[in-house]
Amino acid sequence: MVDLDKILQDGKAIYLAYDHGMEHGPVEFADAEESIDPSYILKIAADGNYTGVILHKGTAEKYYQLLGADERNTLPLIIKLNGKTNIPDLEPYSPMVCAVEEAIELGASAVGYTIYLGSEKESTMFWEFGQVVRGAHKAGIPAIAWVYPRGKWVREKYGSDTDPELVAYGARVALELGADVAKIKYTGDRKSFAHVVKAAGRCKVVLSGGEKTEDPKEFLQVVKDVMAAGGAGVAVGRNVWKAKDPLKVTEDLKKIVFG
Ligand code: FBP
């Protein structure tokens, strides 16, 4: 039986994502200097009572594991199992850098994996994610799929990676591959996002935060629309830890997600 409750509160979720050091490079921390330090992020996650913090295995081992037992008990760890940099200009594919068993040894309550839907390497990612789901479910923990449409066919056939029908396709693929939660980009409006949530069925849908908005209100309005569309919450990085006052944004976020 998969224990989803550990990473939910009243069926809803707020996850603090922090895998950007690998995905985008330290340049991503330049406009919010303190955010280069994983301890700073873990403090926001713990003080903000996030329902999970998303880390790669190295930061989990060298930072999360050094938290006190009480903090670890109240702040669930979600380990991102695959990763890549943005340096090589290759077909989108993010290989496994951590095994499910290793994540569990590090104390993970859930594991995550990015699928680049539409990529030439899509079938490899489907197979790898299949193995992730199998390992995670055997151990009773949820598997979260980041589903990001990407690659030349996405551009040619849909024009944009946030095309509502394409995003709904991704949500459906997440359900059918066995994901418990799908982390998906915003489609631009409430109605089309409701279609995405419907396509995902019993797989919960959380919003992927996106680039930091000028005004936190813009990001919070998107979260309002996502929740009104039936979303289960948000997995956010830059819009929180790049904010002037991350805990204030967190409080506003919690009011919207948990009501
Ligand atoms: P943000 O809320 O900062 O957008 O983080 C969500 C996330 O999925 C991260 O987990 C990941 O590092 C990043 O976005 C990937 O962004 P992209 O592949 O679009 O550059």
Ligand 1 geometric centre to CA of 20 (Å): 7
> Do the bridges between strand 181-184 and strand 204-208 make them parallel or antiparallel, or are there none, so unpaired?
parallel
In order, the DSSP letters of 186-203 are: --SSHHHHHHHHHHHTTS
User: How many CB atoms neighbour CB 121 within 10 A?
Assistant: 17
What does the alpha-carbon distance between residue 190 and residue 183 come to, in Å, rounded to a whole number? Answer: 16
Query: What is the best residue among 18, 23, 219 to mutate for testing ligand 1's pocket, by most ligand atoms within 8 Å of CB?
Result: 23
List, in sequence order, every residue forming a beta bridge with 208; answer none if it has no partner: 235
pLDDT of 48 reads 98
Backbone angles phi, psi at 35, to 5 degrees: -70, -10
In this model, does residue 1 exceed pLDDT 90? no
What does the alpha-carbon distance between residue 190 and residue 220 come to, in Å, rounded to a whole number? Answer: 13
Average pLDDT, the chain: 98
225, 189 Cβ separation under 8 angstroms: yes
Query: What is the best residue among 15, 19, 160 to mutate for testing ligand 1's pocket, by most ligand atoms within 8 Å of CB?
Result: 19
Secondary structure of residue 121 in the 3-state scheme: coil
210, 1 Cβ separation under 8 angstroms: no
User: How many CB atoms neighbour CB 146 within 10 A?
Assistant: 26
Q: Alpha-carbon dihedral of residues 210, 87, 113, 91, nearest 10 degrees?
A: 100
pLDDT 10s digits, 91-144: 999 999 999 999 999 999 999 999 999 999 999 999 999 999 999 999 999 999
Find tokens 């340096």 and name the residue: 87
> Do the bridges between strand 204-208 and strand 108-115 make them parallel or antiparallel, or are there none, so unpaired?
unpaired
pLDDT 10s digits, 129-144: 999 999 999 999 999 9
